[in-house]
Chains A and B, each alone.
Chain A
Amino acid sequence: MYNKNTAIIKNDEVMPGHWLLCLDSPDIARAASPGQFLHVRCSRTLDPLLRRPLSIYCADRERGRVYILYRAAGRGTALLAGMRPGDRLDVMGPLGKGYTLPSPGRSVAVIGGGIGAAPLFFLLSEIKAIYSGRLENVAVFLGAATGELLLASQTAALGFSPYTATDDGTVGFKGSVIDLYIDTNGSKVDRIYACGPPPMLKSLSRALGPDIRAEVSVEERMGCGVGACLSCVCKVREGAGEEFRYAHVCKDGPVFSIQDLFF
């Protein structure tokens, strides 16, 4: 889908340096699934030129609203942070292949690092619906640099009680969210869902036994967002050894099975 004039309902700084954008788009809200992204034009001029990929934070199908939680990381996202309710945004999406949703009751762990937790919020709200609110089998792990950047209250509002880790130790476990996960998770889960910076995904892949399925979301620089320019490559395994091929994050991902990724 492509709409040059998607109305902005809200765009507020909800944590230091992080904005929550709400768009009026019943079409996207209906079509979206967790892990997919929107390809957003942050400027009406030719500089910055390219669109920016941003994950869908959640979709309110009844009211036709789509949310994005983003960090003002550079020029494009800073321009986006300057937009006001009533402004129009040029949006393509939903794009890409998202997470495979679990069947009711399966035990799952959901692990998010920093702003990487954004797409997991959408996933958690879908899991809540699928599980009819019975969430004993869902363990949520959130990590961030500092306590104020944890998405803990948002997650708690959905009815989950997340385990938390911060780099500075101000809230929860002091250290990485993966170390926290290893410390906490004695019992086996059927599936892990994760999203976060590359070092986090790498240490998760090391920590995992071979028989646990884990789906993780990957980031790479994008041009087209639809598989046409071949710029957004990541290495995936081809056979058992050091062989690899390139997958395209915008189309084959952004969600991949961690066993397929080549770190």
Chain B
Amino acid sequence: MNLQVNIGGIKMKNPVATASGTFGLGREYSGFVDLNRLGAVVIKGTTLLPRLGNPAPRIAETPAGLLNAIGLENPGVEAVVEQYLPFLRQFDVPVIVNIAGDTVEDYARLAQRLDRQVGVAGLEVNISCPNVKKGGMLFGSDPDSAAEVIRGVRASTSLPVIAKLSPNVTSIAAVAESVAQAGADALSLINTLLGMAIDIRSKRPVLGNIMGGLSGPAVKPVALRAVWQVFRAVKIPILGMGGIASGEDALQFIMAGAGAVAVGTANFINPAATIDVLKGIEDYMEENNILDINDLVGAAHR
């Protein structure tokens, strides 16, 4: 049985990765999950300089979902490289660094800094974060500015470049086509959906940042639809995510066109969710006599 996949030049031993921001910088869950068994580890959004993030409360629970407004808290790219990547190098797993910036130049400088960095297998370019005032989703909501960021990153690195797209757009396929043309090797989708919650006792928004990004099982149908549409629009591989909590969920994304999947919010509910998703995929392949996972990619379109 072959589980190996290739996402834009990143070779993964199986199609299950972690979603950025839900798996810290790798160490946090290492007592619960053998990182060697993962297809890839995608680490928390990283910026040029350290960022404090947003005030509390940063999360709110919704029916089968989670609103978050973390605001890209991270120690900055230098600390990530010096203090956190060495830990991940002990494992036989590709590490993908999620990068975010306020300006097109920020993204390019991050890409340059991480180029040829030992222990980095690829970059996931976050042009879809809904929780920051500058940059983030602003870039991803327009095909032209999205392409501009990706062109800047492409010119600054030889690493595989994955563009992470926002669902908060009229046509996600149009953004996908635009970043593919600008040189993205693969696409990640989806980032969170912009949402909010209100506490009727205090008559105030629950989140410190007022609005936040919705994730978890509640968003799965939206994410699946996005993967389906983008698979029809572009040729480059898709890392699918949004509400995946089981092997069955993951297989739906793969059949919609994802070459690999990432598990996010589900890690909080089940710290071994990634491994359970992987086992679910393996069981399905065994039961249905499927020899190569790649044969299932886009199966629902055929």
Give me the interface of A with B, judged by CB distance under 8 Å.
2, 41, 46-51, 92, 220-234, 245-246, 251
Which of B55, B68, B216, B268 has the most A CB atoms < 10 Å from its CB? B268
Chain B residue nearest in CB terms to A224: B268
How big is the B interface, by class? 20 to 34
Chain A: minimal CB distance from B70 (Å): 5
CB<8 Å pairs between A and B, sample of 16:
A48-B61, A49-B269, A50-B268, A51-B269, A221-B59, A221-B60, A226-B29, A226-B31, A226-B32, A228-B29, A228-B267, A229-B70, A232-B58, A233-B58, A233-B73, A234-B56
Interface string of B235-276 (1 = CB under 8 A from A): 000000000010000000000000000000101110110000
**A221: contacting residue among B21, B55, B58, B217, CB under 8 A:** B58
User: B28 near A226 (CB under 8 angstroms)?
Assistant: yes
Across the interface, which residues of A come within 8 angstroms of B63, CB to CB? 47
Cα distance A41–B245 in the bound complex, in angstroms? 15
CB neighbors of A among B51-81 (8 A):
52-53, 55-61, 63-66, 68, 70, 73
Query: Provided the pairs A228-B29, A230-B70 are in contact, do residues A51 and B268 lie with their beta carbons within 8 angstroms?
Result: yes
Please give, as numbers and ranges, the residues of chain B lying within 8 Å of A228 by CB-CB distance. Answer: 22-24, 28-29, 267-268
Residues of B within 8 Å of A251, CB to CB, are 28
Nearest CB of chain B from residue A248's CB, rounded to whole Å: 9
* B269 and A41 contact, CB distance less than 8 A: yes
Shortest Cβ gap from B246 to chain A (Å): 10
- The main secondary structure of chain A at its interface with chain B is loop
A-contact bits for B3-37, CB 8 A (1 contact / 0 none): 00000000000000000011110001101100000
Among B23, B61, B66, B267, the one with the most A-chain Cβ atoms within 10 Å of its Cβ is B61
Residues of A within 8 A of B66 (CB): 49-50, 223
Q: How far is the CA of A250 from the CA of B60 in the complex (A)?
A: 16
Cα-based distance from A5 to B14 in the complex (angstroms) = 28
| 8 Å CB contact of B32 from A2, A41, A47 | A2
Neighbour of A246 across the interface among B22, B53, B64, CB < 8 A: B53
Q: B216 contacts which chain A residues (CB < 8 A)?
A: 46, 49
| Contact partner, A224, options B31, B55, B58, B267, Cβ 8 Å | B267
**Interface membership of B44, Cβ < 8 A:** yes
CB distance from B233 to the nearest CB of A (A): 31
CB pair A224–B28 under 8 Å, yes or no, is yes
B73 x A92 contact (CB < 8 A): no
